[in-house]
Amino acid sequence: MTPTKKKKQSDGKKVDPPMKKAKEKHVVALILARGGSKGIPLKNIKKLAGVPLIGWVLRAAHDSGLFDSVWVSTDHDEIAEVAKSFKAKVHRRSLEVSKDSSTSLEAIQEFVKDHPGVDVVCNIQATSPCLHPDHLSEALKLITKDGYDSVFSVVRRHQFRWKEVNEGGSEVTVPLNLDPKNRPRRQDWDGELVENGSFYFSTTSLIKKGILQGGKMTYYEMKPQYSVDIDIDIDWPVAEQRVLRYGYFGKVPPEVVRLMFCKLSGCLTDGRIAISSSEEEMVSFHIRDMEGLRMLKSENVEVVLLNCSQDPIGQSLVEKLRERTGCEVLTVGKKPLEDLQPFLKKKKLEWKDVAYMGNDGADADCLNQSGLSAVPGDAPADAVKAAKYSCHHTAGNGAVREFSEYILLKKQEAKSKREQVRVDCLDSGYATPSSGSQSTESVFSK
């Protein structure tokens, strides 16, 4: 019951510098994303925590810096477009390997046949949104440095298994991995390793033989919190909560967010301006959104509201809003990025220090460059593609509160991770940042 070989679990806290590729190995990442999912239609591009499902693993693959190229194998136009938006190359799979009965191995073999220069393929499952770059880095080292032919991801489970028997038959069930007379406590049992389906590394020589796991093979153990799979609808809400807590959100650490820019029209409001019989302009704000701004300010995140000159809110309303929220209000034009650069320079901040909430294509540059960014649930497609998070709530109806909570959640997680680094430093004998002799950044670089 107890495995004889253990490998270090990865906790997802640290991303090592990109590993130098071995010159003799041409390594690619390949994500299989057929359009004919039966459990959840077009599951691979359905939004999970504001990001297309496939986007989570594509982000991790790109940021790992490991691969000569990152590919998505698909038969569907919409999936292909999403893949390209995440800077992946698209392999148009044939009808022969796009059937309901087609196997993953057949699709991988077709890719290898069409790309003869590839030496190692990392097949990453699109349904594994909590994958981190360091998981991939540590697993690939087992091939490029330790000489394994295939590596696959596993997770440790503590579950007692029993033999299945036919209902109404005479056969009785028996335990498969325990002695009922001596049931072990969880803390006294190492559990069992099972595949979690997150990824499979294999040399192309094995793939050509019709094998993904073979030759000199080993496993890579992932911690349970990073082992998320989505097959049916009921998995979705559980996965969404898990990915908000343990997902990989990019190279920019969310704890550095010190300022939030938020568009007034189309984010804090629903974009509509009412005019009374006395020609007085009126706009409405959701009380939840106003509370969201107060929550950020209470956590020392400065909030600056943006009034767009193309669709402005009247000065009298701006003054009332400034008084009500206590937030500074800036006017921006067609290119908000250019207008906000001087402001950030004056504040001695960079875009990685900023959270940005926009609602249109004109905001795309700011959404892309910000450490954290979001759009309301009813934002147009060009803004959604540029944002790192897409709210469930619509403009003027709770979207700002939702993004505010998201920012604070990520800051709290970062705080917890910094505390864990401090504990790890003490355990390992390193000086901690509070001792004044070594910073957290220098600990990470070791």
CA 232 to each of CA 31, 99, 253, 431: distance values in angstroms, whole numbers, following the listed order? 19, 19, 32, 47
Q: Which residues, in sequence order, are CB contacts of 341 under 8 Å at separation 6+? A: none
H helix intervals, 271-363: 287-298, 315-325, 336-347
Q: Which residues, in sequence order, are CB contacts of 326 under 8 Å at separation 6+? A: 297
Task: Please answer whether residues 230 and 53 qualify as being in contact, where contact means their C-beta atoms are separated by less than 8 angstroms.
Answer: yes
List of long-range contacts for 239-243, beta carbons under 8 Å, 24+ apart: 239/48, 239/129, 240/48, 240/49, 242/129, 242/130, 243/48, 243/49, 243/56, 243/129, 243/130
Distance of alpha carbon 188 from its chain centroid, rounded?
34
What is the rounded distance in angstroms from the CA atom of residue 256 to the CA atom of residue 411? 8
H helix intervals, 96-234: 104-114, 133-144, 204-208
What is the rounded distance in angstroms from the CA atom of residue 16 to the CA atom of residue 443? 12
To which H or E segment does residue 368 belong?
helix 364-369
**What's the start-to-end Cα distance of the chain, in Å?**
36
Q: Is 243 helix (H, G, I), strand (E, B) or coil?
A: helix
What is the rounded distance in angstroms from the CA atom of residue 313 to the CA atom of residue 331? 10
Q: Which residues, in sequence order, are CB contacts of 285 under 8 Å at separation 6+? A: 268, 269, 321, 396
Catalytic residues: 183
DSSP string across 285-308? --HHHHHHHHHHHHTT-EEEEEEE
CA 368 to each of CA 165, 210, 352: distance values in angstroms, whole numbers, following the listed order? 55, 41, 10
Total count of residues recorded for the chain: 446
